[in-house]
Structure 1
Amino acid sequence: MSIGTRVKQYREAKNWSQEDLAIRLDTTQTTISNIESDKNIPNSLLLNKIAKELEVDINDLLNDAPTVIYDNEFNDQSVANVNQYNPIFNIQSPELLESIIKNQEQIAKLMEIQSKLIESLLKK
């Protein structure tokens, strides 16, 4: 069973629409749809956010069999589960990787601006 299928099952178990999950993850319904239809595989950050919102262990999204992780530490199985998708990421075009890096830099800048704004609001 694919990651997308498991995301859909857990989302539907909560009686959430794709839009509901998208709002909780601060993303778009299209992103959720693409994940659930296996057009896109979420990166590790988004996958972690999905697991937290759906209140499941990230390994439950990666495996068919639930895996228990103690003390929120990665174990060999969870690392292996993530690594099985590395070939998909390694074949990406340099242009796509460059775009991803630029987007991450922009996100970091926006987070810094947001932090400064929150600080200034808290000082008032």
Structure 2
Amino acid sequence: MEIGTKVKKLRELRNFTQEFMAASLEMTPSGYGKIERNESEVSYQKLEKIAEVLGIKVEDIISFNESLVFNVMHNQTGITNGYVVNHNSISDNEKKLYEDMINQLKEEVLTLKKIIEKLQEK
């Protein structure tokens, strides 16, 4: 997914209009629209400003994956419209890497405990 598309999805999740974003970024609505349509390059400085308006980090924009987001609508009381990011969805490969790392760290802890025991015996 291109940066402009990610920005658009995140803006929509915040229920912000293109006009609001453009005004907040001191741009014309058509200029901002070009960003969302991936018709213009986005500098890192502009991305920082976009992230600030959206209340997130630049990294959140870059790593945004719409399949990990659920819309949350709580309209009975009119309290909230928002989103929840599901960080529990990791690939099998990523899961295996984490499990391997955990096992390696467990082995390291055991080794260090043995070293500590030997040092305490002296």
* TM-score of the superposed pair, with normalisation by structure 1: 0.49
Q: Of the two structures, which has the highest relative contact order with CA contacts closer than 8 Å and spacing of 6 or more? A: 2
Q: Which has the higher strand share?
A: 2
* TM-score of the superposed pair, with normalisation by structure 2: 0.50
Q: Which has the higher helix share?
A: 1
Larger radius of gyration: 2
